Structure 1
Amino acid sequence: MNIAQLLAAAATTFPNRPAVSVGRHTLHSYSELQARVARLSAGLLGLAGTPRGSRVVLFMGNCPEYVEVLFALWHAGLCAVPINAKLHAREAAFILQNCDAALCLSTHETARHAATALDYCGHHLTHITVGSAAYEQLLDSAGAAQHSAHRDDLAWVFYTSGTTGRPKGAMLSHGNLHAMAQAYLCDVDALDETDALLHIGPQSHAAGLFCLAHIAKGGNQVLPASRGFDVAEMVGLINHYPKVTIFLAPTLLRRVLASPELAHLNVSHLRTVLCGAAPVYAEDVRAALAAFGLRLWNGYGQGESPCTITAMPKHLYRDDGSAGHAERLVSVGVARTGVEVRVADGAGNPLSPGEVGEILVRGDVVMSGYLNDPSATAAALQDGWLHTGDLGTFDERGFLFLKDRSKDLIISGGSNIYPREVEEVLLRCPAVEEAAVVGAPDPDWGESVVAFISVRAGMQVTSDELDELCVAHMARYKRPRRYTFIDALPKNHYGKVLKTELRALTRRNP
């Protein structure tokens, strides 16, 4: 059950197919990549202090070596702990200490940052930079045989984004990752060796694991030469490769849709636009469908059940004339293969369609718990169900609609107000780039609604105009009592809006 077997099998079936490419240049074939993985795994096991089962931190930016490092760790029976390269050194130091890392791997651009984080840890840890002489020396080893991993052996520890406090390390096993790959092939696309996955978002994110299904089928992992986000470069690569899948978080999706470079896209080369990691609003869905056709796939997951809770498949965006189709544009779809989803009350009992409750999930992709945090594990995993902390509701056809995080619910005058409903209305205004709604303490109502607005460059809008829009589209008690205009919404390193910071702003400026 070693997840590294996906690559080994692909190397046997598709030895000469491109496995990793940079820009339009093939870097490694599948047989070459598998040989490098076997040698690197032997080198890693030969280091002092990295026996099988050790946790290895990947403090790495996007790079072509990311895939070989991941699979070498798994091949060797080691566990990968990815860190977003944008984290502050002190944040990274917490993860290094919490996971009891045996080794830290960095890229050239993160090496100094990683060294600072290691200094904050206060204890010695081997640190190797990918591409350095020390790294190449690891590749000089004779190839090691693949470790025979059990399905429950730890393969990946993903630290949650920590929008409300210290991040927690969700423990994912080889079996969890197999289930994720299988669900992709069942629910997204039946891939083959002519597919290409274009890595725009951080490979350290759970969405980086979309590579598993593509590698299982011999697909090409393509990195932009810039290693960053550039719409013109992205369009050029899609036009070059005949069958491209790309993951775009909602923030990047909006930037792509607003770019004039999109006019040069050969959309016939685009297979799928994967979206997730944050709410996708109705206006964005409509714009994406207009630009890409039925190629949008909107997934809902968490680090605890990576990218695999529910999803809105591409074909379900087609307007079939059924009642509720327009409303379903903002649905996160139906339960993924191998996953059971429930909307429940506070006691865990299932609720009827239309009733709002907490979203619970169970299945083979769900984590076993949080690393070194039994109390958080006990709170999150109850009676076999992962309690997501998200509020949602099913419609009569079984489509799931996210309402909000339970902690973001606003209770004003005894009425529940879901910030996302208000944000959807505000985003109808063409001048609004981004909107985020939070509750502020109110002596009369308990809480009042405050909207933070980022305005598109070259455009203007007033509070009165936004208020008129809200009154025209929703109940008056839901409309914001205050509008605050800011240059950009605060976000964490994965693009999620930090509503904790916005709530703090409302307290500082009542």
Structure 2
Amino acid sequence: MLVLAESDPLSFLRGFLAALSTGTPLLLANPQWQSQEWQQLAAILPQNFMAWGTVPPLDPQGSGERLPQGWILIPTGGTQGRLRWAIHTVATLQAARMGLQSHLQQLTIHCLSILPLYHVSGLMPVLRSLWSGGELYLARHLRDLRQTTPPANLDLWLSLVPRQLQQVLTEPLPWLGKLRGIFIGGGPTWSQLLEEAATQRLPLCLTYGMTETAGMICAQRQGEFLAGDRSCGQVLPHAQIDLTPTGEIQIQAASLALGYYPEFFDSAIFPTDDRAQWRGDRLYILGRSSRKIISGGENIYPEELEALLLDSGLIQDIYIYGAADPLWGEQVIALYVGDASPEELNTWLKQQCSAYKCPKQWIRVPQIPRTPQGKVSLVTLADGYGQRE
């Protein structure tokens, strides 16, 4: 297995394509991970791994068995915030690419990619271009687009998360309006943001998808957003979406991952905690059933952070939740009981996990309201601190 943790896009592609050409199993990693995340990787890492990029010394605790050729393990958040690696193959990623081609009625897809390539949202634009014979333009950050001339070919698809869309609206890049389309995914996009994008005539295409499905399985087509559509569009031909009686999304797709390494899914039907409704053949996302927070396109699980902080001895009690934020989509807020200062807690936590997970607000309280069973009283929190239910 090759562990690929490379921040430079071209170096990432060299490692990725080298592994694909030789059938070497791949595990994608974030070079900015901290000790907590690397320890989670070490727990499942096979003994005979190779490293490419910024990988610290690791003590692999996985099996010594060789993984099947062509496996591509892509990181995502999981239960209680622990990292998981969705098991994809060339076949599942190709299914996602071909499904989008059919949906857009485009044989060739040209892409401009600025999202991290270890994320499915950054990887898939690259594969869509490479595998369809399209042109590919790479950048590391949105700010790179402000420091360079526009691409020669503006018949491009760009993928953004809501936070990046907010930045584009605040400091416009006029040539973005000339792109073929701008896919928006990775978290909730609030109505004010969408209406401002419509005012600036940005060719958005709202989408729905996840790491487990190799990206989008539902998407708008070009022009639908500017015509007034605010759904996530129609289901792509390689996927099927059903709703439970309570509105939770269930997915079947040719692009569905095989499981979370080293385990396989028990069923071909993948349940999610996302709630939605149909209006005709168009899907409208309503929210989530779990406590998962999506901030800046990143999945954040409060249970993981709470466990870390409780183990630190710096606090006596804590509750972490997400609140609506005009820049990040949601921001992480921590209510805690203890004598430690917010600065001390923030400094300690950043040494344990990635900075994007850390609360934007730390609020010291006399106590966390709980029921006799020890569960947090969400009604009391909603009244006092704006906690969502």
Per the normalisation by structure 2, the TM-score is 0.70
Q: Which residue of 2 aligns with 1:95?
A: 41
Q: Hey, what's the Cα distance between the residues in 2 that align with 1:233 and 1:83?
A: 27
Q: Secondary structure, in 3 states, of the residue corresponding to 1:181?
A: helix
The Cα of 1:61 is off from its aligned counterpart by 1.0
Q: Which residue of 2 aligns with 1:229?
A: 142
Q: Which residue of 2 aligns with 1:57?
A: 3
In the superposition, relative to structure 1, how do residues 333 and 454 fare at CA in structure 2: closer, same or farther (>3 Å)? closer
The Cα of 1:341 is off from its aligned counterpart by 0.4
The Cα of 1:174 is off from its aligned counterpart by 2.1
Q: Aligned Cα RMSD in Å?
A: 4.0
The gaps in structure 2 that reach 5 residues or longer are 295-299, 303-320, 328-334, 336-341, 370-389
Deviation string for 1:33-84 (max 9, x for gaps)? xxxxxxxxxxxxxxxxxxxxxx221111132122232122122112221112
Amino acid at match of 2:207: G
Q: Hey, what's the Cα distance between the residues in 2 that align with 1:216 and 1:95?
A: 29
Deviation string for 1:146-186 (max 9, x for gaps)? xxxxxx96431112124732122211122211101101212
Q: Secondary structure, in 3 states, of the residue corresponding to 2:281?
A: coil
1:404 maps to 2:317? no
Q: Which residue of 2 aligns with 1:214?
A: 129
1:317 maps to 2:225? yes
Q: Which residue of 1 aligns with 2:113?
A: 199
Amino acid at match of 2:206: N
Q: Which residue of 2 aligns with 1:37?
A: none
Amino acid at match of 1:56: L
1:386 maps to 2:270? yes
Q: Is the 8 A contact 2:74 2:85 kept in 1?
A: yes
Q: Is the 8 A contact 1:333 1:400 kept in 2?
A: yes
Amino acid at match of 1:314: Q
**Largest Rg, 1 or 2:** 1
Q: Is the 8 A contact 1:231 1:256 kept in 2?
A: no
Q: Is the 8 A contact 1:63 1:223 kept in 2?
A: yes
Q: Secondary structure, in 3 states, of the residue corresponding to 1:304?
A: helix
Q: Which residue of 2 aligns with 1:115?
A: 56
Amino acid at match of 2:134: G
Q: Is the 8 A contact 1:239 1:266 kept in 2?
A: no
The Cα of 1:391 is off from its aligned counterpart by 1.5
Q: Is the 8 A contact 2:46 2:60 kept in 1?
A: no
1:360 maps to 2:250? yes
Alignment of 1:283-322 (within 5 A): 283-293=192-202, 295-319=203-227
Amino acid at match of 2:136: Q
Q: Hey, what's the Cα distance between the residues in 1 that align with 2:142 and 2:206?
A: 20
Q: Hey, what's the Cα distance between the residues in 1 that align with 2:95 and 2:366?
A: 44
Q: Is the 8 A contact 1:308 1:365 kept in 2?
A: no
Q: Is the 8 A contact 1:200 1:223 kept in 2?
A: yes
1:254 maps to 2:138? no
Alignment of 1:65-84 (within 5 A): 65-84=11-30
Identity rate, percent = 17
Amino acid at match of 2:20: W
Q: 2:240 aligns with which of 328, 340, 350?
A: 340
Q: Is the 8 A contact 1:94 1:121 kept in 2?
A: no
Q: Hey, what's the Cα distance between the residues in 1 that align with 2:102 and 2:114?
A: 24
Q: Is the 8 A contact 2:43 2:61 kept in 1?
A: no
Q: Secondary structure, in 3 states, of the residue corresponding to 1:273?
A: strand
Q: Is the 8 A contact 1:248 1:274 kept in 2?
A: yes
Per the normalisation by structure 1, the TM-score is 0.55
- State the aligned residue count: 322
The Cα of 1:189 is off from its aligned counterpart by 6.0
Deviation string for 1:106-139 (max 9, x for gaps)? 43xx3xxx224x2x5589x9xxxxxxxxxxxxxx
In the superposition, relative to structure 1, how do residues 153 and 176 fare at CA in structure 2: closer, same or farther (>3 Å)? farther
Deviation string for 1:463-500 (max 9, x for gaps)? xxxxxxxxxxxxxxxxxxx9xxx9x9x999697x789x
The gaps in structure 1 that reach 5 residues or longer are 1-54, 126-151, 320-324, 346-355, 410-418, 421-435, 439-449, 457-481
In the superposition, relative to structure 1, how do residues 291 and 173 fare at CA in structure 2: closer, same or farther (>3 Å)? same
Q: Secondary structure, in 3 states, of the residue corresponding to 2:188?
A: coil
1:370 maps to 2:260? yes
Structure having the higher helix fraction is 1
In the superposition, relative to structure 1, how do residues 399 and 185 fare at CA in structure 2: closer, same or farther (>3 Å)? same
The Cα of 1:245 is off from its aligned counterpart by 2.4
Q: Secondary structure, in 3 states, of the residue corresponding to 2:86?
A: strand
Amino acid at match of 1:394: W
Q: Which residue of 2 aligns with 1:243?
A: 155
Q: Secondary structure, in 3 states, of the residue corresponding to 1:314?
A: coil
Q: Is the 8 A contact 1:238 1:269 kept in 2?
A: no
